[in-house]
Amino acid sequence: MKGIISRILMACIAVLPFDGARAGMIGTPSPAPANAGVTDRAAIGAFLERAEVSAQLATLGVDPAAARARVDALTDEEAGALAQQVRAAPAGSNAGPGLVIFIIVVLVGFLICSAELVVAGKRPAFCF
């Protein structure tokens, strides 16, 4: 009986995960900087001063000065959220048409290579 129990315990120790307790220092959370609202508003202001943003605002009928005044009226939390969205926005334009054209060119290349392989029985030099 003792042999069976010891074998079961050894199998359990070998198979089951054993994650011991770990000790470590617990850090205190760092407080938000006192000038977080100022830096967030500066990031939004730099975004609004870009030429393409000003042009888009003008096409939408928004006065850039009015937009700047609204940014200045935001609370620190709102400015932080908007600044995070500005920082996370993708840089550059939409790559959709270029990607579609690339996929079409690759597919046509594969079709040409497979047609040459079927018709001539050999692989053209430009196929991979």
pLDDT at 92: 60
Angstrom CA distances, 55 to 20, 45, 49, 51, 60, stand at 60, 15, 10, 6, 9
- What pTM was estimated for this model as a whole? 0.46
36 close to 44: Cβ distance less than 8 angstroms: no
pLDDT at 7: 81
**DSSP letters spanning 45-79:** HHHHTSHHHHHHHHHTT--HHHHHHHHHTS-HHHH
pLDDT at 45: 87
pLDDT tens for each residue of the chain, 128 residues long: 667 888 887 777 777 666 666 777 777 776 666 677 788 888 888 888 888 888 888 888 888 888 888 888 888 888 888 888 888 876 665 666 777 787 888 888 777 777 766 677 776 666 66
